[in-house]
Structure formats: structure tokens, C-alpha cells
């Protein structure tokens, strides 16, 4: 069968290229290709396809199965793509997966009659069973982890267990991506390296309880690690076959109690890989010895979710950290000559304008190389979404507006207009402070 996977964000003058590879599509495509199906990926933003051209490309390929990976703000675009192609080819099986479909599966099937199946959670095993049943014209009743239509009814099968051994999955199908179009070249002069950014995942999931993160809804509050050897194998493929010298680990937190960060670093050093790299970490997990090892293996940047300079807001967000953790982590990393990327959240229930200004002041004091501020997003599947529903705080359920630049929660002390102004002021302050 012919399978087509699409990232559902078509190009416009307002929407420029994303910075990184469509890793989730490449990971899914790898298992489909391994199973013997013909598989193609379309990344419209990178290819600069507007909606009309995207539909033409889909029509030209004429897939038997059309699959889309969907985040909350893109769900309506996914509906538009599926509807348009389903009218061209009614026999095509249409599947939505990803974070938003995982937590809103029934709602999606109710809202868009052109979607046939929603895959919830991890998709690699589920998609292969789906394709096999579809090809053999069998019922989907025994396929775990899906919500689907049958005889006019919406049915929901039991959840699928998480994949216990991530090393059993093949290397993402990087060769199916338009690699040469991902031209976000960055420079790392401290290591004499300049090039495009390649993405790697060494873990899945996160064991922490942040109220704004949907990871727990997808990964069931677990953190599973790939073996360091498998991670290095993927890095070598990106470096040697596709020329990526700069690698970003896209794990929710690269440094965690269950991860193999230290061993990955030792293998990078042992293999003498000609790369530099960046990652994300929680502030309380940083220590001097680990950061020194990172530096020796050419880590050039660590991103931290500092979130706030007000302990009350950190506690509401269930970050499980103290202000002093952020200060200490920032100092340790900077003392080793590694860049810091700090992200902050404003618009937390209970905040006042003075508290937000305190966070902005704190962000400046950390002196990160890059600083970004976002407004709290109550994504479906998160604790802050449930809290907002319970307390009637949502300003809208228009999913296309669920982006970090929009006020989405009613605040007692700050109007949406004032919050938007504070958002722009905070990011302007961050831009003025940013350094290469």
C-alpha cells in the first residue's frame, strides 16, 4: 500500500520554516517502511507548499492511507487537509495521531467526519497493526490504542502498552525527509563548527508533574531511555550520511535520573565524533562534574525551563524547584563556558503585574544567552486545562489560538489586554539581553 505522512501546517508568508527535522514523522515512517509499505513524508512548511499545492501533491501521490501528526494549534488545519483529500478519494483511510488526538480522540471524530481513525499515544506498533488490518479488510476491534468509526458509531479500544524496549525501533527514516531544505544554519564559534541542526531523541516521557505539560497524558508519567549505543548510532547517521555537525537532543529533559546522559557523553568522546550538541535539563539536576563532562564533549548550550522568578508561581506550576536551583544551575553552566537558554511562563493564576515584573527582573539577572517568555497555555490533557475548566477560566476553546503568545486563561489581577502587553514587554527585554 501507499502511505503518506503529513505535518499539517501549510506554508504562508506569516509562517516561515521550522528550525528542525520532522522527527516524529521520520520515526513513524521508519517502522512503516520496515514493514514493506511504500511510504512518503510531506513537510509543507519546509517545502513551502501552500494549502492548494499541498493538496495537489497529496493527490499526485494518491495514497491509500493518509496520516497526520497533530498538535493542538494545528488540529483545524488537519481537518481541512483530510476533508479536501477525502472528497477527492473517499476510499483513502485517514488517520490522526499526536498529542492533541491522544487526549481529544472522540472530540476529533465528532468534529470532523472525514477522519476515520485516531491513534492515541505511541504510534509505532499501532500503525503497523492498523495497516495490516486495513489491507486485509479486517475489523479494527482488536487494535489497541485507537478510537474509530464503525457502523456510524464512535468506538474506543483499550490503551496500548508503552514500548518497553525503545531500541527495538528502527532509526528514524531521515532519508525520507527533504534534508537539504532544513537550512537553519547556526554557528558555534567556540568549537569552530558551523552547520545545520539535526535532532535526536534519547528518551521518551518525563516523570515530573508540571501542570502545563501534556507529556504525562501521552507517556503515563514514565521516562524510558534508549541505549547510549543506539543513540550514538543515530548521531553517526546524521553526521556521516547527512552532514549534520550540530545535534540537539529534543528529550523533555536530557538530564534525568533514568537517562544515560553521562554514558552518551563518554561514547561521543570515545568515538571522537566531530559534532557539537545542545539539550534541555531541569535546574535541580545540574552538577559541576556533569557539566564539565558536557563541555569536554562539545556541549554548547543547555536549555532550562526556569519558568518564573516568583516562588508562588513555581509552586502553582508544580515545577518542584526553588528559585535558588535556577540561580545555581545557571552559574554552574556559565562558569564552564556553555550557553544557557532560559524559558519563562507568565499569566499564571494568582499572578499580579508586579509578580510578572519580578520574573522579568529575575530573568535579566540570570544573564542567559537567550531568553524567551510565553503565556501559560492550558493544553488539553494538562492539569492546568482541568483546573481552568473546573473554575470556568478558559477564554476560548478555539484550538488554533492555543499558542504561547495569546492570553487563554482569565486572571483575577490582570486583563487579557494587559497580559498581552506584558508578554511583548518581557520578550523585548529578553531580546535586548540575548547574546550569541
Q: Average pLDDT for residues 361-366, to the nearest whole number?
A: 96
Residue 363 pLDDT level (bands cut at 50, 70, 90): very high
Closest CA to 28 of 162, 172, 160, 157: 172
Helix (H, G, I), strand (E, B) or coil at 158: coil
Q: Average pLDDT for residues 111-122, to the nearest whole number?
A: 96
Q: With 50 as the cut, is the pLDDT of residue 435 above it?
A: no
Q: What is the DSSP letter of 214?
A: -
Q: Note the pLDDT of residue 390.
A: 97
Q: Average pLDDT for residues 228-243, to the nearest whole number?
A: 95
Q: Note the pLDDT of residue 433.
A: 56
- 3-class DSSP string for 318-370: CCCCCHHHHHHHHHHHHHCCCEEEEEEEECCCCCCHHHHHHHHHHHHHHCCCE
Q: Average pLDDT for residues 188-194, to the nearest whole number?
A: 92
Domains and CATH numbers, the chain: 2-156 (3.40.50.280), 185-433 (3.20.20.70)
Range of weakest confidence among 16-25, 74-83, 162-171, 342-351: 16-25
Q: With 60 as the cut, is the pLDDT of residue 128 above it?
A: yes
Q: What is the DSSP letter of 162?
A: P
**Alpha-helical segments (H) within 37-74:** 44-47, 51-61
pLDDT digits (tens, 9 = 90+) for 375-416: 999 999 999 999 999 999 999 999 999 999 999 999 999 999
Angle at 330 between CA 365 and CA 383, to 5 degrees: 90
Higher pLDDT, 23 or 16: 23
pLDDT digits (tens, 9 = 90+) for 298-327: 999 999 999 999 999 999 999 999 999 999
Residue 205 pLDDT level (bands cut at 50, 70, 90): confident
Q: How far is 121 from 124, CA to CA, in rounded Å?
A: 10
pLDDT digits (tens, 9 = 90+) for 61-76: 999 999 999 999 999 9
Range of weakest confidence among 45-54, 335-344, 426-435: 426-435
Closest CA to 46 of 25, 76, 30: 25
C-alpha cell at 113: 467526519
- 3-class DSSP string for 232-275: HHHHHHHHHHCCCCEEEECCCCCECCCCCHHHHHHHHHHCCCCC
Q: pLDDT above 70 covers what percent of the chain?
A: 95
Amino acid at each position: 500500500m501507499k502511505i503518506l505522512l503529513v505535518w499539517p501546517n501549510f506554508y504562508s508568508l506569516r509562517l516561515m520554516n521550522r528550525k528542525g527535522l520532522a522527527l516524529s514523522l521520520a520515526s513513524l515512517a521508519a517502522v512503516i517502511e520496515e514493514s514493506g509499505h511504500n511510504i512518503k513524508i510531506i513537510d509543507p512548511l519546509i517545502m513551502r507548499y501552500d494549502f492548494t499545492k499541498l493538496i495537489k501533491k497529496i493527490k499526485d501521490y494518491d495514497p491509500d492511507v493518509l496520516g497526520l501528526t497533530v498538535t493542538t494549534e494545528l488540529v483545524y488545519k488537519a481537518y481541512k487537509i483530510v476533508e479536501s483529500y477525502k472528497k477527492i478519494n473517499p476510499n483513502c483511510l485517514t488517520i490522526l495521531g499526536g498529542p492533541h488526538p491522544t487526549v481529544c480522540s472522540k472530540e476529533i471524530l465528532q468534529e470532523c467526519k472525514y477522519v476515520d481513525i485516531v491513534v492515541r499515544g505511541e504510534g509505532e506498533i499501532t500503525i503497523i497493526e492498523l495497516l495490516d488490518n486495513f489491507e486485509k479488510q479486517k475489523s479494527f476491534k482488536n487494535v489497541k490504542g485507537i478510537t474509530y468509526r464503525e457502523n456510524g458509531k464512535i468506538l474506543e479500544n483499550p490503551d496500548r502498552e508503552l514500548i518497553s524496549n525503545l531500541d527495538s525501533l528502527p532509526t528514524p527514516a531521515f532519508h525520507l525527509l527533504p534534508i537539504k531544505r532544513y537550512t537553519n544554519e547556526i554557528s558555534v564559534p567556540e568549537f569552530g563548527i558551523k552547520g545545520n541542526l539535526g535532532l535526536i531523541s534519547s528518551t521518551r516521557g518525563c516523570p515530573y508533574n508540571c501542570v502545563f505539560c501534556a507529556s504525562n497524558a501521552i507517556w503515563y508519567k514514565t521516562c524510558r531511555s534508549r541505549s547510549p549505543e543506539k543513540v550514538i548510532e543515530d548521531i553517526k547517521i546524521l553526521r556521516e550520511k547527512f552532514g549534520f555537525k550540530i545535534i540537539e537532543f529534543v528529550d523533555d529533559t536530557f538530564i534525568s535520573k533514568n537517562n544515560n546522559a553521562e554514558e552518551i557523553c563518554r561514547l561521543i568522546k570515545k568515538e571522537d565524533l566531530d559534532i557539537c550538541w545542545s539539550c534541555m535539563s531541569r535546574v535541580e539536576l545540574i552538577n559541576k562534574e556533569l557539566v564539565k563532562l558536557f563541555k569536554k564533549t562539545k556541549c554548547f548550550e543547555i536549555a532550562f525551563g526556569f519558568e518564573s522568578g516568583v516562588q508562588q508561581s513555581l509552586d502553582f506550576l508544580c515545577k518542584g524547584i526553588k528559585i535558588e536551583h535556577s540561580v545555581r544551575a545557571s552559574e554552574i553552566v556559565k562558569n564552564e563556558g556553555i550557553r544557557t537558554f532560559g524559558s519563562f511562563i507568565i499569566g499564571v493564576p494568582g499572578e499580579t503585574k508586579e509578580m510578572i515584573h519580578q520574573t522579568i527582573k529575575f530573568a535579566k539577572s540570570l544573564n542567559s544567552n537567550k531568553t524567551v517568555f510565553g503565556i501559560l497555555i492550558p493544553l488539553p490533557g494538562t492539569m492546568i486545562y482541568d483546573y481552568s475548566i473546573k473554575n470556568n477560566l478558559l477564554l476560548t476553546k478555539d484550538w488554533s489560538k492555543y499558542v504561547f503568545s495569546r492570553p487563554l486563561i482569565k486572571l483575577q489581577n490582570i486583563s487579557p489586554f494587559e497580559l498581552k502587553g506584558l508578554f511583548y514587554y518581557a520578550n523585548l527585554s529578553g531580546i535586548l539581553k540575548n547574546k550569541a
